[in-house]
Amino acid sequence: MTFKTLDDIGDVTGMAVLVREDLNVPMADGQVSDDTRLRATVATLAELADKGARVLVLAHFGRPKGQRVPADSLGPIVPALSAVLGRAVGFIDDCCGAGAEAAVAALAPGSITVLENTRFHGGEEKNDPAFVAALARLGQAYVNDAFSAAHRAHASTEGLAHVLPAYAGRAMQAELEALEKALGKPEHPVAAVVGGAKVSTKLDVLKHLVSKVDHLIIGGGMANTFLAARGVDVGKSLCEHDLTGTAEEILTAAEAAGCTVHLPYDAAVAKEFAANPPSLRICNVHEIAPDEMILDIGPQAVEALADVLKTCRTLVWNGPLGAFEIAPFDTATVALARSAAALTKEGALVSVAGGGDTVAALNHAGVAGDFSYVSTAGGAFLEWMEGKELPGVAALNG
């Protein structure tokens, strides 16, 4: 994969540069409640503004479906973005049209301005060439800095790259470089941890990974379907019994590809889905009672998996190993995340993790900062783990 970066953009003094960012932040009572995504924009926006560009930020917010929905305006995000940037940020209440063009013409070099929600126009999600052209009239170059929106071929995430000189922003560049190290051209042996609730949402991930990694570690609710496929009675556990055939196919494909699949030997089980339930016990997966459910993988399994990680050079992780939101079913996720973080700190492992729940789980374990790279992208990260080419990234290629 080759793509141009801000190192290639040349002299941008006075140039209007359209920068696609991800400003789709969570809000509570009209305030930004988590500014992680805003902080990710700083490197690119500050660099371009410092070089004298007139920086125009394009982004979507919510799902207004081509209508001007006031609740989905990007206006309320602007003060929070200004705070993380530590400089003034302007706002133009449309992302195209004569009014926007006049407002852009009046901007000073070195300024940063957010344009209103691209999804207020139906042409955004349709990737309509007329809308792409209307956006392109505002600037002379396009920078895509929003990996998390790159799995969508929309006007501001893909179309613009075909009509303006296109570059990856710093956050996009860091993400692509980290992902390349983890699955593109990784150092072997490679381990993948795939957890989470259901097999059905991650079938394509599992199918792709068996041909790419040396060790596939399956945890979370989805491990139950694999255990059931191997003849284990998982009691009342979350289990997609209709997918045991598919699970078997994945196990067969793994064996053919020389990928070792690790399923848990033991588990933390309980009769109710609650914090610290009185019925909690640790047992071998072959000893689960009909009224019990698996809510975390067990301590023996975690110890064995930590030993597997010690033999690996690369780790890619998506999904928690148990119902980590409730104690003590966070135990395995926290323990294995800490082992991975320690190996990373020693320089023995390149560790890349991604997905909303995974980031929450690593933050909960206090180790997100110790992984080599943590992607906050949800859908885009999963599609990348499925081996799919992301349209927004493909459009930057060349």
Task: Give catalytic residues, as residue numbers.
Answer: 37, 198, 356, 379
Q: How far is the CB of 359 from ligand AMP (least distance, A)?
A: 11
Q: Which residue is nearest to ligand AMP (CB)?
A: 196
SS3 105: helix
Over 231-277, what HEC string results? CCCCCCCCCCHHHHHHHHHHHHHHHHHCCEEECCCEEEEECCCCCCC
Closest C-alpha among 51, 83, 54, 41 to residue 170: 41
Bridge-partner residues for 226, per DSSP? none
Closest C-alpha among 63, 175, 147 to residue 379: 147
Question: Do 380 and 149 meet the contact criterion of CB atoms below 8 Å apart?
Answer: yes
Q: How far is the CB of 358 from ligand AMP (least distance, A)?
A: 7
Dig out the tokens for 53 from the structure: 């560009």
The DSSP secondary-structure symbol of 208 reads: H
Chain residues binding ligand AMP by CB under 6 A are 196-198, 201, 220-221, 238, 294-295, 319-320, 322-325, 357
Dihedral, 235, 238, 239, 242 alpha carbons, nearest 10: 120
Question: Do 352 and 180 meet the contact criterion of CB atoms below 8 Å apart?
Answer: no
Distance of CA 321 to the CA centre of its chain: 18
Q: How far is the CB of 6 from ligand AMP (least distance, A)?
A: 33
Q: How far apart are CA 47 and CA 27, in angstroms?
A: 27
Bridge-partner residues for 54, per DSSP? 16
Cβ distance to ligand AMP smaller for residue 385 or 396: 385
**Phi, psi values for residue 370, rounded to 5°:** -95, -10
Q: How far is the CB of 199 from ligand AMP (least distance, A)?
A: 9
Query: Under the phi-then-psi rule, with left for phi > 0, alpha for psi from -120 to 50, and beta for the rest, what region is 29?
Result: left
Cβ distance to ligand AMP smaller for residue 81 or 294: 294
Q: How far is the CB of 327 from ligand AMP (least distance, A)?
A: 12
Dig out the tokens for 387 from the structure: 């081996």
Q: How far is the CB of 63 from ligand AMP (least distance, A)?
A: 20
Cβ distance to ligand AMP smaller for residue 48 or 315: 315
Q: Which amino acid is at 75?
A: G
Closest C-alpha among 145, 137, 185, 186 to residue 163: 137
Q: How far is the CB of 281 from ligand AMP (least distance, A)?
A: 15
CA distance from start to end of the chain: 8
